[in-house]
Amino acid sequence: MKRVFILVLDSFGIGYSVDANVFCDLGSNTFGHISEYCYLGKANVGRYGPLYIPNLISLGLGHIYQKMYGQLPNGIIGSSNIISTHGYLSELSLSKDTTAGHWEIAGSPVLFKWDYFDNKKNSFSDLLMNYIIFKCNLSGILGNCHASGTDILYNFGELHIQTKKPIFYTSADSVIQIACHEEIFGLEELYQLCEAVRSILDQYKLNVARVIARPFIGENKFNFFRTNNRKDFSKPPNGITIMQKLISELNGQVIAIGKIADIFANVGVTKKICAFGLKDLMNCSINLVKTAPSNTIGFINFVDFDSLWGHRRDFVGYAQGLEFFDNQLPRLLHSLYDDDLLIITADHGCDPTWVGTDHTREYVPMLLYHKKLCNKYIGNRKTFSDIAQTVAKYFALSSMNYGISLL
């Protein structure tokens, strides 16, 4: 029985990459800075003491960092019994967003430029917005700016309730986000609006990676909060992914948990499982390991690290999330069959101690566990697509266009 499980710790970078200066991220280090802040006791509430993730360390995470920087992160104790093939990956894609990171993991790096909305205010052109308003029969829109998910609701949520005008906003990523009250505007109405906007962008060949539905509830700006009914309307991958190869060449299954299906516009996905929150995502992952048939790729995104803690610059929440994930890892490892391949990685960085609220250009860890593989340090790999090439060789599929197998 051959199965692969890819766990993406969304935004868990391990230090700025060689091209980080291009992205103004020179000095960022998600793993290193979280460890440092925990060790120095900078948390006012919520947790105390050094970051404690012994199972990730036993998989080689600390050893990777030590090889990169000549020392372990502050407060991290190394392991004398590493049980995985481990190293770190450079990103080949020309951007540092979720879509590019995941597509590259799947073997289709983004070697072209996305279209971005660079203006902090009046981010979307009058021509585009007037057309959207006309085609979608809207009375108008609110926002039209760069903003965080919390600030946009605080500033425009009450006016949205009064007018029912959807809130449009963006970020440093190639994205249009649309926030609407789930009950007053309607969840299905929001999805239909986002789908229409996606269609308009594609019609006019605007190369925008995602349109994201951001439903929220609450009565006023002091208690608005986003619900778990987020939905991404993405462009389909620009090349053949490892998931598509598994389906076409082996009639295999690709089971996506979390937002994976949305990231790939459902291309190369045979089944999707909705899960929200770290606990639910981990439980679904463990259940998948226990039940998935042969010739399956299980692809899971742990979004909370990015959306709840990275972007919100909450290193305490991030640390607690890592410790919870680490605590649950033995349950997952013990559920693996002898021939299973487990890959733990990330799609970009989002250093919670860094300036601003955007992603950070960083290397990501590559932890590859198989019960019959020995401990091996593989150093720096030149593309996330080494993961896809490894999976292709494991399943004896035709080769991917990018990447070098680790097997």
Give the rounded distance of the alpha carbon of 383 from its chain centre: 17
- Whether 3-111+238-394 and 126-234 share one fold: the answer is no
The closest alpha carbon to 248, from 267, 273, 272, belongs to 267
Q: Where are the domains of the chain?
A: 3-111+238-394, 126-234
- pLDDT (tens, 9 = 90+) of the chain, 407 residues, equals 999 999 999 999 999 999 999 999 999 999 999 999 999 988 777 778 999 999 999 999 999 999 999 999 999 999 989 999 999 999 999 999 999 999 999 999 999 999 999 999 999 999 999 999 999 999 999 999 999 999 999 999 999 999 999 999 999 999 999 999 999 999 999 999 999 999 999 999 999 999 999 999 999 999 999 999 999 999 999 999 999 999 999 999 999 999 999 999 999 999 999 999 999 999 999 999 999 999 999 999 999 999 999 999 999 999 999 999 999 999 999 999 999 999 999 999 999 999 999 999 999 999 999 988 878 999 999 999 999 999 999 999 999 999 999 99
Mind giving me the DSSP string for 55-82?
HHHHTTHHHHHHHHHSSPPTTPPP-S--
Report the CATH architecture of 126-234.
2-Layer Sandwich (3.30)
pTM above 0.85, yes or no: yes
The closest alpha carbon to 212, from 200, 224, 229, 236, belongs to 229
* CATH assignment of 3-111+238-394, among 3.40.640.10, 1.10.3720.10, 3.40.720.10, 3.30.1280.10: 3.40.720.10
Contact at 8 Å (CB) between 304 and 325? no
Contact at 8 Å (CB) between 106 and 388? yes
